[in-house]
Structures are given as structure tokens and as C-alpha cells.
């Protein structure tokens, strides 16, 4: 670790440095990031892009009194390093270590937690208004990427800012990338500003001026000239129409310029937006060459950036199956909300470019857009992570289900997401979807069944959703052509008469293991792949309720409102009183960590199930003995 970096224990240490030292510190931070994340994995590209920005913010502002609100907050690693967490930084995203996002419980300098995009402006405005109401003096700064401005919430906040406060700084960190290339009219608008020759020349000279003179006088000169230039080039600058004074674009890697600008902006008594230009992945050639890959990744070689080839994932099988289904059905269209890479849809795009839609980080819009297409006879498939689909709950109810439109929701990352932590765990989708009339909700036990479920979904007259997990597939043989499954019918894998074990989705492996263990103990265990959470296979439940002493349900979802709860409700409706042992996540936000370790900690294991099931089975044995 560099010697300057070793001397940084708090933001006060940053403030002691001169510009030459800050520039050196920026380089040391980059080396430290590249080396550390090569072992832990993480959001390398975004953080390499905001080294100077974060240093400048901590030079000028005083956290925790001043509030830095990072959008998504995947780019807050340097903030963590500068605010007393450098020594623990090697634990980032590791079990028991630092979280990969801002976390209020982790540190007093993390004033607002995030993980989902588009929240920074609203949250910062809330803090600014709270300050105004309580007579405070602190500065509030929202830092949002260009892709955050593809999100509706950012615009809802923009619409509101100038009416509510006079003191708020918004930093637009523009690197032209979302995870993939940023998309849409806003991205093009930013691009036009950035690439306008006259404006760029003007800004280069403005920057030189600031560096030469420094301080407010120079900035005032710059501002006057800037206003003149802007009125010449853009009579109606977007942000100005929203009532925010727009500054920029300036070089987001020029530390003195950033510092001087923030010193000036903090004195403004009107809301301001500073547009800075940064390079995602700056300082690491593999990240500059592979923007998508280095947005966020697992461990890599710190010299070459190479990663080990992964196993086939559910996302890949989803994408390849969708290509296959779209080949024979021209009504099929694919929609992603800024996640072509993560959902696998970037594999679909080259096959059917006209039927592929990246709408930006706009899940609500994605779903309503899909609803619109469905009214015109198309078969939209929305590939949205379980956690991000939470955003679109109302459109799913109001636009899709209520109108019985045949939109298919393919929910990747359903279940525990592991290293990313609570903002990214997909643990609530069954609870939020299963109460919606018309919805068909499925979970495949393996990749072959995922393909069948996609085919089934596309054959339905109304809405449906399929939940499947992050990561590698089960590795089973796949049929050449997917089949339509009988809706609401479970698959009985092993018959039995003492206990019926239902394992939803890939949790079927735990169900099968439990079955084997119980057989060894002398019990007859049925193992059932439910396939459908809704409609539930009541017939099969009824059949087993007459035979078994206990049901066991396994699900990678919160127990409350989940699959096991659906089974209990169904049995109760039938007037059956067989006990149900539910294995799933407790009513608690689960921290980040390794999936297996977290399952062990929270009792999502065969052992935990055995401990609950055996006494119930023993009770039945005793009753049988007494009866005989």
C-alpha cells in the first residue's frame, strides 16, 4: 500500500494534503483498488472513475455533518476508504466484512444506504428540506451517474427540487456507461453536450483559468462566460428548466478544478447541478477495454484482468431458450431495464435486434411498455431481476394482471444473491406476486424445466412469472425443444407415505437429500417438485394430506408469504390439519455473505429440517404403536 494512503484514517487527513499529494494519493488508491478487488471481486470500473471526485468531495465537505448521497452507491468504495475503513477494506463483500454499498449501520459517514438506482436525488432533497426546516447549515450533495437519469424517480425529484430548497448540490457523474452503454434520449442529450466542439473548447479554457487563478473570482468569471456560452448554444438547458443552475461539463479527473468548483458551489443559494465527465475504469487498461465486464465482477488477475471461465448460468439458458422460442414465434419480444448483460439478453440481441428493447433503469416503464405491446398481440418477456422488479409492483397489478395481459416476467437472481447483500437478495417475489389474481407463478428445478416453463408461459392467455436463481445451472440434459407443462401440476419425483417434501425450484436438491436421510431413518418420504406456486397443485396436496404425518417445504424466499405459507393456506382451505415444516428465510434482512454459510446460519439446511421433522414423525410412530 502506498505511504500516503497509509496515512489516511479519516477525511481530516485528506484535507491536510496539497494538490500534488492528492494526485499521488489518487494513484495509490487506484493501485489499492485494483489489487484488493482482484481478490474480493466488486465494482471496480465505477470506483476507478470516481477517485478524484471522491477526494475533492472530502477536501471540500465535512462528513458526517455534510451529507454525501451516492446513487446505487456501488461507487462509494473510495468514500469508505477515506472514512476510516481503509484497514478493513480487504473484507469488502466478504462474510462479516464491509458491505459493497453504503450502509447506515456500517459507519456514521454513510448517511444513506442504497443498492437500487435512482434514489439519490429524492433522498438528498429530503435531507436538504429536513435541514431547512430545522435551521441546519450542512451541505447535501447527491452524486448520481448518467444512467441514474434514465430512471423516473430522478426526474420526479428534479421536478420537485427547486420548489423545496435553495441549497442542494447534484453531481451528474457522466461516463456514458450504465452497466452496458447508457441508452435513450437523455444519454444522447448528455452526449451532445459533451461532444459539442465549441462548448468543449470553452470549457478547456475555463478550466485553465480556474487552475491559473483559483478561487471565487476566477469561478465568477467562468460562470459569466459560461452563462453566455450556454445561452448561445442551448437556449433551453434541461436542468435549468427544472430550476437547477447547471454547471459543466468539467473534467472529473482534474482535482484542482473539482475542488475549486465545489468550494464555489457550496456557497450558492440555489440548487445546482454539476456535470462532470469521468472515465469508468480509469487507470486499468482491461477495465477500459471491457467496460461491461469490469462494472462489477468476481476475482480477476490484477495484471491482465483475466477471469476464470464460469459454468453455464440460468441467465444464459434463459437467453438461448428465448432466441429459440422467438425464432418460431414472431410475437415474442424481449425487454430489459438496463441489464442486458446480467439477464443474458445481450445474447438475444444479435439474433432479433428489432425485438430487443433496453429501456434504461426504468422497471416501471418496462412493465407498462410490455403491457402496451401485449394489448397489440405481442408476447413481451420482461427479464428483470427479482429485487428490481419490486419497483414495478403496481404496474404488474394495475397494468398487466388487471387487464389480463400475457406478459411474461423472467425473474433472474430470485433467491439469496450472496455477496451483494440485502439490497440485491431476491427474497420477496413470491410474497408480492402470489396474491395477484390471474398470475401464474413458477420455479424450475433445473435448466431444462426453465425452458419448459418459458414455453408454457408463452402459451398462457394471461400474465405469468418464472423465478430462477443467480449462477450455475444444475447440469442436467436438455431436450432439443421445450415442452408446455400442465399448468398447476406438480411433479412427483419419489412417492412416499410418512412425509411429503416439497422443494421449490433448485431447492429440490435439499428436498431430495432430506428424503434420502429420512429413508435411512426408516421413514417413507415423498419428494415433490411443485413447479407452480400459483396455481398450487391442490390435488397432490390433498392426496398426500391423507397419507403423511408432516409436509416439509423448502424455498429460497422469505417464509412469510412464501411458498410454504401458500401450502399452509391451501391445506387450511381444505380443512386439513397436517403440520407443515417450512424451511426458508426468516423475517429479517439477510446480510451479505456466501450462500452456503448464510443458509447454515439461518437454518436452510437438511439438518435443520431433520431436527424439526423427526420429532413429528416420532409422534406418529408412537401413536401407531399405541393403536396397534
Ligand X SMILES: Cc1ncc(C[n+]2csc(CCOP(=O)(O)OP(=O)(O)O)c2C)c(N)n1
Q: Where do contacts with ligand X occur on this chain (CB under 6 A)?
A: 46, 49, 71-72, 74-75, 116-117, 145-148, 173, 175, 177-179, 280, 295, 337-339, 361, 363, 388, 391
- Catalytic residue list contains 612: no
Query: Out of 280, 355, 445, 467, which one is annotated catalytic?
Result: 280
Q: With respect to ligand X, which residue has the nearer C-beta, 72 or 121?
A: 72
Rounded to whole angstroms, the Cα distance separating 137 from 22 reads 27
The residue number whose beta carbon is nearest to ligand X equals 145
Output the smallest distance, CB 312 to ligand X, in A: 22
CA 381-147-165 angle, 5° bins: 125
Query: Out of 176, 226, 363, 449, which one is annotated catalytic?
Result: 363
Output the smallest distance, CB 115 to ligand X, in A: 6
Query: Out of 30, 293, 349, 391, which one is annotated catalytic?
Result: 391
Q: With respect to ligand X, which residue has the nearer C-beta, 131 or 391?
A: 391
Rounded to whole angstroms, the Cα distance separating 507 from 608 reads 14
Rounded to whole angstroms, the Cα distance separating 541 from 567 reads 8
Return all residues near 94 (Cβ < 8 A) that are at least 6 apart.
40
Under a CB-based contact definition with an 8 Å cutoff, are residues 263 and 59 in contact?
no
Rounded to whole angstroms, the Cα distance separating 598 from 418 reads 8
- Catalytic residue list contains 167: no
What is the C-alpha radius of gyration for the chain, rounded to an integer number of angstroms? 27
Output the smallest distance, CB 297 to ligand X, in A: 13
Beta bridge partners of 503: 554
Output the smallest distance, CB 171 to ligand X, in A: 11
Question: Do the strands 532-534 and 440-442 form a parallel or antiparallel pair, or are they unpaired?
Answer: antiparallel
CA 311-314-315 angle, 5° bins: 100
| 133: Cα within 13 Å, side-chain hemisphere | 7
Which phi and psi (to 5°) does residue 557 adopt? -165, 160
Q: With respect to ligand X, which residue has the nearer C-beta, 124 or 570?
A: 124
Nearest to 87 by CA among 30, 196, 8: 8
Q: With respect to ligand X, which residue has the nearer C-beta, 43 or 534?
A: 43
Output the smallest distance, CB 607 to ligand X, in A: 35
Q: With respect to ligand X, which residue has the nearer C-beta, 93 or 391?
A: 391
Angle between helices 314-328 and 447-458 (to 10 degrees): 40
Q: With respect to ligand X, which residue has the nearer C-beta, 282 or 434?
A: 282
- Catalytic residue list contains 260: no
Q: With respect to ligand X, which residue has the nearer C-beta, 178 or 321?
A: 178
Q: What does the buried/exposed string (b/e) look like for 420-458 if buried means 16 or more CB atoms within 10 Å of the residue's CB?
A: bbbbbbbbbbbbbbbebebbbbbbbbbbbbbbbbbbbbb
Which phi and psi (to 5°) does residue 496 adopt? -170, 170
Catalytic residues: 280, 363, 391
Amino acid at each position: 500500500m502506498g505511504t500516503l494512503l497509509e496515512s489516511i484514517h479519516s477525511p481530516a487527513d485528506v484535507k491536510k494534503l496539497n494538490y500534488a499529494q492528492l494526485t499521488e494519493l489518487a494513484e495509490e488508491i487506484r493501485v489499492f483498488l485494483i489489487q484488493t478487488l482482484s481478490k474480493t471481486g466488486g465494482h471496480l470500473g465505477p470506483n476507478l472513475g470516481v477517485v478524484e471526485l471522491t477526494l475533492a468531495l472530502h477536501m471540500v465537505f465535512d462528513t458526517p455533518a455534510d451529507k454525501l448521497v451516492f446513487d446505487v452507491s456501488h461507487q462509494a468504495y473510495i468514500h469508505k476508504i477515506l472514512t476510516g475503513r481503509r484497514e478493513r477494506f480487504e473484507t469488502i463483500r466478504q462474510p462479516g466484512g464491509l458491505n459493497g454499498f453504503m450502509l447506515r449501520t456500517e459507519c456514521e459517514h454513510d448517511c444513506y444506504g442504497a443498492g437500487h438506482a435512482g434514489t439519490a436525488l429524492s433522498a438528498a432533497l429530503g435531507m436538504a428540506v429536513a435541514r431547512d426546516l430545522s435551521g441546519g447549515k450542512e451541505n447535501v450533495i447527491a452524486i448520481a451517474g448518467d444512467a441514474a437519469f434514465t430512471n423516473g424517480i430522478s426526474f420526479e425529484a428534479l421536478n420537485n427540487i427547486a420548489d423545496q430548497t435553495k441549497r442542494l448540490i447534484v453531481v451528474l457523474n457522466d461516463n456514458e456507461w450504465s452497466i452496458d452503454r447508457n441508452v435513450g434520449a437523455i444519454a444522447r442529450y448528455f452526449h451532445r453536450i459533451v461532444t459539442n466542439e465549441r462548448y468543449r473548447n470553452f470549457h478547456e479554457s475555463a478550466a485553465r483559468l480556474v487552475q491559473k487563478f483559483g478561487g471565487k473570482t476566477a469561478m465568477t468569471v467562468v460562470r459569466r462566460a459560461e452563462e453566455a456560452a450556454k445561452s448561445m448554444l442551448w437556449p433551453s438547458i434541461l436542468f435549468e428548466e427544472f430550476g437547477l443552475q447547471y454547471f459543466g461539463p468539467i473534467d472529473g479527473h482534474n482535482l484542482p478544478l473539482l475542488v475549486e468548483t465545489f468550494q464555489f458551489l457550496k456557497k450558492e443559494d440555489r440548487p445546482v447541478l454539476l456535470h462532470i465527465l469521468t472515465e469508468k475504469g480509469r487507470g486499468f487498461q482491461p477495465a477500459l477495454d471491457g467496460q461491461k465486464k469490469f462494472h462489477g465482477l468476481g476475482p480477476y488477475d490484477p495484471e491482465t484482468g483475466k477471469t476464470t471461465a464460469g459454468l453455464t448460468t440460468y441467465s444464459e439458458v434463459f437467453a438461448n431458450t428465448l432466441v429459440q422460442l422467438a425464432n418460431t414465434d414472431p410475437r415474442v419480444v424481449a425487454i430489459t431495464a438496463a441489464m442486458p448483460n446480467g439477464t443474458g439478453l445481450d445474447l438475444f440481441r444479435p439474433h432479433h435486434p428489432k425485438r430487443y428493447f433496453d429501456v434504461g433503469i426504468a422497471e416501471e416503464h418496462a412493465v407498462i411498455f410490455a403491457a402496451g405491446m401485449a394489448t397489440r398481440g405481442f408476447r413481451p418477456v420482461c427479464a428483470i431481476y427479482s429485487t428490481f422488479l419490486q419497483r414495478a409492483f403496481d404496474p404488474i397489478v394495475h397494468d398487466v394482471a388487471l387487464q389480463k395481459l400475457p406478459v411474461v416476467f423472467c425473474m433472474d437472481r430470485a433467491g439469496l444473491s450472496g455477496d451483494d447483500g440485502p439490497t440485491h437478495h431476491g427474497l420477496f417475489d413470491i410474497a408480492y406476486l402470489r396474491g395477484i389474481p390471474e398470475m401464474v407463478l413458477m420455479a424450475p428445478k433445473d435448466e431444462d424445466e426453465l425452458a419448459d416453463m418459458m414455453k408454457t408461459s408463452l402459451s398462457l392467455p394471461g400474465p405469468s412469472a418464472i423465478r430462477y436463481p443467480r449462477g450455475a445451472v444444475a447440469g442436467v440434459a436438455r431436450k432439443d425443444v421445450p415442452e408446455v407443462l400442465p399448468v398447476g401440476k406438480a411433479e412427483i419425483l419419489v412417492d412416499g407415505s410418512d412425509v411429503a417434501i416439497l422443494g421449490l425450484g433448485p431447492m429440490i436438491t435439499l428436498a431430495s437429500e432430506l428424503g434420502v436421510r429420512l429413508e435411512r431413518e426408516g421413514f417413507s418420504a415423498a419428494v415433490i417438485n411443485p413447479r407452480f406456486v400459483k396455481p398450487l397443485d391442490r390435488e397432490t396436496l390433498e392426496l398426500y394430506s391423507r397419507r403423511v404425518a408432516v409436509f416439509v417445504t423448502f424455498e429460497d424466499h422469505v417464509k412469510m408469504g412464501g411458498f410454504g405459507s401458500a401450502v399452509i393456506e391451501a391445506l387450511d382451505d381444505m380443512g386439513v390439519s397436517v403440520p407443515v415444516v417450512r424451511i426458508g428465510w426468516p423475517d429479517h434482512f439477510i446480510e451479505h455473505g456466501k450462500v452456503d454459510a448464510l443458509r447454515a446460519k439461518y437454518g436452510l439446511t437438511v439438518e435443520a429440517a431433520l431436527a424439526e421433522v423427526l420429532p413429528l414423525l416420532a409422534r406418529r410412530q408412537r401413536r401407531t404403536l399405541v393403536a396397534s
